[in-house]
Amino acid sequence: MSLFKHLINRWSRSERQRSVNRDLQHTQKTKAALSNQLDNNLQLLQKVYADCSDIIFHNFWIGDQIQAVLIYIDGLTNTEEVDQHVLAPLQKDFPHEYNLETIRKKIAVSYIKQVEIIDDIIAEISVGNAFLLVDQENQGLSIGVSQWKTRSIEEPSAESVLRGPREGFIESLQANTALLRRKVRNSNLKIRTMSIGTYTATPIGIAYIEGIAEPDLIQEMMSRLERIEIDGILDSMYIEELIEDNPYSPFPQVLSTERPDVAGAYLLEGHIVVLVDGSPSVLIAPTTMFALLQSPEDYYERYVGSTAIRWLRYLFFIISLLGPSIYIAVITFHQEMIPTKLLLTMAKSREQIPFPALVEALLMEIMFEALREAGARLPKQIGAAVSIVGALVIGQAAISAGIVSAPMVMVVAITGVASFMVPRYVLGIPIRLLRFPLMFLAGFLGLLGLLLGVIVILNHLLALRSFGVPYLTPLAPVQSSDNKDVLWRAPHWRMNTRPHLTGMQNLYSQSSNQRGDQPAEDDDE
């Protein structure tokens, strides 16, 4: 009991200390400000940026009469703009009477902000802006001349399509918001910004369409983001794990994409898009299981073909999860389900195999996963060749050596191909992981164990939520009007309404008279 009390007291002291530290940081931030002495301000900022060789302190005179210092980061600031639009105008003839407003008018840059708090100055310099300190002034000017190298906009390799847009998000938040603006050209597209991370201060953008997105959903997203306290955010995955409803679930509860057209489509349905500076993947919430099984190309091809491919995708999705387990259960416990001729052929192929079907499947599945990871991590020039050659050589050698049977190799190969049909890689990972416990259940209990495992998975999926939206909607709970984009892909002239759980505020997305073979309505009537 005394040990328990000691732990409780220690935890309470640590919580009080954290609270004191937060209050102290807030107090220091509000009180630390510039003085009107340039030397004092310069010493303070030089102390802050001690041992930072890329921080440039450029001393100069404004009009040969006023001492000033320009501070910027080498590599994040456009030095050509600094020379042409900042230094050149200020070093010419200057009036004897001056103030910050006079200096501001001389600088030919659109973004200029007066700052006096030290933490705000550091934040402005960190994003690439140049900061101007002037003698006898207790405020400085943050000048927007930031510029850094970014890669060009190109098609995402993980979400390529045969027909449709060929552009993708990049690592720049400004470029990504511009790509969204190109898709949704309306003032109702709102993009709120905030910074997360004590040390990284990573800019985050929250995009939604006002009038379509539910206000409660927007408030919930902002609440979850605002309560994040972390040292740094380096990728959108940090945000995803911190805002999802059930962090212990293997299934993703937030959809990630690198395609602006996909993000725009979900915005029009009432979803929220979260953009993270430095990451090409944006987050879309809420999401469902069926949204993760949809491909962008479903909407860029004829609806008949898209529906057939979607059914095929659903079928192979089930095969990728249950294929090896069904084979293990049938070959181990339920041989009567196999036709006699096929059973004799399979028995002959397994005649020299020393392992049971469960061990066979485990060996082949583990080897297949190893080859897949090796192919993904190796350079592109040799990754595909290594994975293909490795699978062929190892599979044939294992059959010849009598370690595994030919039917087992076929089952594992078909399962591997089926797993590649899942359009979202994040959904394929939990399926690959759940395949192993299902194999154990099938190996020990047969189809009864497999059925038990499926019931557990379904029970988990039925209880799962993404920002309050059931994970299996619109099948559970049933929303019959939303099935036009789940069980099949209805033609665009039939998609008149938005999803009920995200677009109820503005349910109708188009008029009902959109078919080309219908006569146009008379405007005079």
Closest alpha carbon to 431 in 328, 306, 314, 333: 314
How far apart, in Å, are the Cα atoms of 268 and each of 116, 191, 261, 507? 41, 14, 11, 11
Task: Quickly list H helices, 464-519.
Answer: none
DSSP 405-465: -HHHHHHHHHHHHHHHT-S-HHHHHHHHHHHHHHHHHHHHHTHHHHHHHHHHHHHHHHH-E
Q: Report whether 363 contacts 404 (CB < 8 A).
A: yes
Structure tokens at 45: 């900022």
Q: Report whether 502 contacts 288 (CB < 8 A).
A: no
Q: What is the per-residue pLDDT for 6?
A: 52
How far apart, in Å, are the Cα atoms of 368 and each of 106, 318, 371, 426? 66, 19, 5, 18
Return d(Cα 349, Cα 434) in angstroms, integer. 28
Q: What angle do CA 392, 394, 395 make, to 5 degrees?
A: 65
Q: Backbone dihedral region of 211: left (phi > 0), alpha (psi from -120 to 50 degrees) or beta? A: left
Q: φ and ψ at 194, to 5 degrees?
A: -155, 165
The reply to whether omega before 260 is within 30° of 0 (cis) is no
Q: What is the per-residue pLDDT for 391?
A: 67
Q: Report whether 358 contacts 440 (CB < 8 A).
A: yes
Q: What is the per-residue pLDDT for 230?
A: 92
Structure tokens at 96: 């004897």
Return d(Cα 497, Cα 490) in angstroms, integer. 12
pLDDT one digit per residue (tens) for the chain, 525 residues? 454 455 455 555 555 555 545 544 443 444 578 888 888 889 999 999 999 889 999 998 887 778 899 999 988 898 888 999 898 888 876 666 777 888 888 888 888 999 989 888 998 998 889 999 998 888 899 999 888 878 888 888 888 888 888 899 999 999 999 999 999 999 999 999 999 998 888 999 999 999 899 999 999 999 999 999 999 999 999 999 999 999 999 999 999 999 999 999 999 999 999 999 999 999 999 999 999 999 988 889 888 989 999 999 999 999 999 999 999 999 989 888 888 888 888 888 887 888 888 988 898 888 888 878 777 777 766 666 666 666 667 777 777 777 888 888 888 888 988 888 888 888 989 999 999 999 999 999 999 999 999 999 999 999 999 998 999 988 888 887 778 888 888 888 888 888 877 777 778 878 777 777 666 554 443
Neighbouring CB atoms inside 10 A of 139's CB total 15
Helix and strand numbers (H, E) in the chain are 18, 12
- 3-state class (DSSP) for residue 342: helix
Q: What is the per-residue pLDDT for 367?
A: 83
Structure tokens at 64: 């040969």
Q: Are strands 140-143 and 66-73 parallel, antiparallel or unpaired?
A: unpaired
Q: Report whether 468 contacts 220 (CB < 8 A).
A: yes
Q: What angle do CA 236, 241, 247 make, to 5 degrees?
A: 165
Q: Which residues touch 383 (CB under 8 Å, ≥6 apart)? A: 374, 375, 376, 377
Q: What is the per-residue pLDDT for 387?
A: 64
Q: What angle do CA 195, 199, 203 make, to 5 degrees?
A: 20
- 3-state class (DSSP) for residue 468: coil
Q: What is the per-residue pLDDT for 102?
A: 83
Return d(Cα 139, Cα 114) in angstroms, integer. 6
